[in-house]
Amino acid sequence: MKRILYVESDAKSRARTVEALRTLQCEVTSLSTTGEAVHALENDPPSLVMAVRNEASEDDLRLIEHAHRLRSGVPVLVLARRGSTRGAIAFMDAGAYDYVAKPDSDNAIREMAENILRSAGALAVPDAGLLPEAGDDGPGAIVGRSAEMIEIFKMIGRIAKSDAAVLLQGESGTGKELAARTIHENSRRQGRPFVAINCAAIPETLLESELFGHEKGAFTGAVGMRRGKFEQCDGGTIFLDEIGDMSLATQAKILRVLQEKTFERVGGEESLTTDARVVTATNKSLVKEMRKNEFRVDLFYRLKVVSLFLPPLRQRHGDIRILAEHFLRKYAETGRQPMRGITRAALEMLQGSPWEGNVRELENAIQSAVVLNRTGVLDREDFPFLRQAVGGESIDSNPLESLQREVARASRALLRTERATEGQGVYRACMDLVEQTLVTEALRHCDGNQVRAARVLGISRNTLRSRMHFTRG
């Protein structure tokens, strides 16, 4: 009989989850600490360990280490109440089976356990060393607990262990510099310089000097020798943001640094070396830039040894509450009085906004609201700019209310004449059109991924496929 070891400090929550797990016809042992779980592993190894944790303590890591030592290996699933970069990196690097956000539903936890037990008959998690601690999730941390961000945390943990060049892609404001800094802080280069430079913000005539330095008299105004960024961060990490805006001439010099680790200062003849790790970022499509012959193909493949895409905020709406609370704590001291929280109505407004500027826009919105707030609690009235006209249309805080008004308006127009429905009837015509539009927009929102689209819509994949067939014809 398979046995599950479940660890959680909250007794009431633990009891509810254990009751759900026992419906799997498994023996379930519940404990409150991972220290107790270590001893339980030694005495009677289970088939699966599930532990509700956020950060990785010594006992947590000992638990995973002991699980590895068992003959067949015991998978350890970490359920995080509040996902963190440090927790995800440490647990995954230690060899946890997975690190996921703890579902609100005990049945969802039961399904996770069932899936793991079904496929983990002889599953052994790989051995791995402990990643050095990256520091707590303070103001400069990547914040999120959505499935998308948990995957980003795990990817960063794997990327950080190598010296490979990394290309970060994503829209402006998604946190590419934070990701670059986190990679650096969790690598063997931590403690060495991290230098960030925005290639689009520096005139092309000065960018080469900024990157490689210059000798005295190299050009008008060069009154002395200056060390460039590659020289300054030797042994560390250099982050080149907006690499897609770099000229072809400078691209060629970056390519040489990547290939040979050598460069010359502007106006100099001495060949210098650098051991800087290169992390780059862009919000442009470099593939399109290459097609226009505005970006070097050879440089693209040198930069894209490892590629990481940071999703826009509209694809991780589940993180908006956590991000809002994070920024509220960050800017609480700048307000006129102590900040106590944010109302449900305000959170609903934030979650219903498009956030075209992504996390950066949300942070600015929270900062502005805190500065202007007079009550100590953020409410809808503290975000009037979210309802201002954008592109000629008002952003409504509740999309369903907006949809209801639009449906009512269109329904009144259709009911006045049946010719618009071509004899199909108002009800059938409306329902077909709404379903077709909803399915089409869900697929577009999920970049054609049917599994994600079905999950967003709350229907099965088979139902989605049948609706796709229906809407096509």
The CA-based dihedral angle spanning residues 345, 337, 319, 444, taken in that order and rounded to the nearest 10 degrees: 60
* Average pLDDT of the segment spanning 101-116: 89
Helix ranges (H only) for 244-375 are 248-260, 286-291, 297-303, 320-331, 344-351, 358-372
Rounded alpha-carbon distances, angstroms, from residue 301 to 40, 137, 258, 296: 49, 33, 11, 9
Of 178-192, 220-234, 252-266, where does mean pLDDT reach its minimum? 220-234
* Average pLDDT of the segment spanning 155-178: 91
Q: Give exposure, 397-410, as e/b (b: 16+ Cβ within 10 Å).
A: beeeeeeeeeeeee
- Taking only the tens place, the pLDDT of each residue in 323-351 is 998 898 888 877 655 677 888 888 888 98
pLDDT given for residue 398 in this prediction: 55
- Per the model's pLDDT, the better-predicted residue between 412 and 312 turns out to be 312
Instruction: Please report, as a single letter, which amino acid is at residue 395.
Output: I
Of 159-173, 235-249, 398-412, where does mean pLDDT reach its minimum? 398-412
Encoded tokens for 428 = 């059938």
**Separation between Cα atoms, residue 139 and residue 460, nearest integer Å:** 39
Judge contact between 26 and 20, C-beta under 8 A.
no
**Separation between Cα atoms, residue 369 and residue 382, nearest integer Å:** 5
Of residues 102, 104, 127, the one with CA closest to residue 50: 102
- Taking only the tens place, the pLDDT of each residue in 194-246 is 999 999 888 887 898 999 989 888 887 788 888 989 999 999 999 999 999 99
- Residues contacting 27, CB < 8 A, separation 6+: 1, 2, 3, 4
Instruction: Give the distance from CA 430 to its chain's centroid.
Output: 37
Q: Containing H/E element for 465?
A: helix 461-472
pLDDT given for residue 420 in this prediction: 52
Q: How confident is the model at residue 418 (pLDDT cuts 50, 70, 90)?
A: low
**Separation between Cα atoms, residue 102 and residue 285, nearest integer Å:** 35
Judge contact between 280 and 168, C-beta under 8 A.
yes
- pTM to 2 decimal places: 0.62
**Separation between Cα atoms, residue 464 and residue 462, nearest integer Å:** 5
Judge contact between 467 and 431, C-beta under 8 A.
no
* Average pLDDT of the segment spanning 5-31: 91
